């Protein structure tokens, strides 16, 4: 049966779509990623860029009518709060914090950390849409969503949108865990070496952030860390890998 006979204005759609910041100020449970992209998903839905902008402004992120962060579209399981939800380029980007004091959220967080991140999915009501007939497209028939009333964003296991990934999840709560991870992943040969690299990376954490003003250190007679050739070489070689662990 054609999709055009199955949907109408006001229908709700749960669409599985896509989930580095300040290392020392991130709260436990911090997650970041993409909530929606304009690529056609596995259900034949194409959510245009900016389709949810009006509803985000109208509904907000807090309060009874605010857009919720849920666990697998379960309307009874709020998983956290959304800190930021905005269109960047053609993608809808999201940042949020999971409520780790809630048992089912803690379980979700532990699983996400172990597997290196889950995915995001948007739940919304159709407002403006159109169909592209199969005989007019090499991709077959699909639904183009021009505007929707965004109700919630969920953390999910399997997304309908292949690009719907959770890009960041805070996984190391202490410097000690970070050092152990450096050794476990073969980035350092010993714990002593990991401690030196971790100390150096912490002193220059702003290098790994999207936007961060470098901290002004007090005047000291000691040489600046960046002048330590050995540490500089080690950190340069590990910069790409270490950036993924500095959470």
- Segment 7-39, tens digit of pLDDT: 667 666 666 543 333 444 678 899 999 999 999
More confident residue, 6 or 102: 102
d(CA 73, CA 132): 28
d(CA 69, CA 235): 37
Contact residues for 44 (Cβ-Cβ < 8 A; gap 6+): 3, 140, 141, 142, 143
Q: Residue 223: its pLDDT value, please?
A: 44
d(CA 129, CA 29): 35
Q: Is the pLDDT of residue 52 over 90?
A: yes
In the chain, the percentage of residues whose pLDDT exceeds 70 is: 66
d(CA 19, CA 14): 16
Q: Rounded to two decimals, what is the model's pTM?
A: 0.64
Please provide residue 105's backbone torsions phi and psi, each rounded to the nearest 5 degrees: -75, -40
- Average pLDDT, integer, range 133-147: 79
Question: For residue 1, what pLDDT band results from cuts at 50, 70 and 90?
Answer: very low
Please provide residue 98's backbone torsions phi and psi, each rounded to the nearest 5 degrees: -80, 145
Q: Residue 16: its pLDDT value, please?
A: 55
């Amino acid at each position: 049966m054609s999709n055009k006979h199955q949907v109408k204005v006001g229908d709700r759609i749960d669409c599985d779509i896509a989930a580095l910041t300040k290392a020392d100020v991130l709260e436990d449970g911090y997650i970041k990623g993409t909530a929606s992209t304009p690529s056609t998903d596995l259900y034949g839905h194409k959510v245009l860029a900016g389709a949810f902008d009006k509803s985000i402004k109208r509904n907000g992120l807090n309060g009874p009518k605010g857009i919720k962060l849920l666990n697998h579209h379960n309307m009874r399981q709020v998983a956290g709060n959304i800190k930021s939800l905005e269109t960047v380029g053609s993608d809808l980007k999201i940042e949020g914090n999971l409520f780790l004091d809630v048992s089912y959220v803690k379980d979700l967080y532990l699983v996400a950390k172990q597997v290196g991140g889950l995915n995001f999915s948007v739940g919304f009501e159709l407002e403006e849409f159109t169909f592209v007939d199969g005989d007019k497209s090499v991709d077959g028939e699909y639904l183009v969503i021009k505007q929707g009333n965004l109700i919630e964003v969920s953390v999910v296991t399997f997304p309908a949108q292949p690009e719907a990934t959770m890009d960041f999840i805070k996984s190391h709560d202490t410097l000690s865990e970070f050092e152990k991870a450096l050794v476990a992943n073969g980035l350092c040969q010993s714990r002593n070496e990991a401690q030196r690299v971790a100390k150096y990376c912490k002193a220059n954490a702003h290098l790994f952030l999207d936007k961060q003003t470098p901290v002004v250190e007090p005047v000291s007679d000691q040489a600046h860390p960046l002048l330590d050739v050995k540490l500089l070489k080690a950190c340069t070689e590990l910069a790409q890998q270490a950036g993924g662990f500095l959470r």
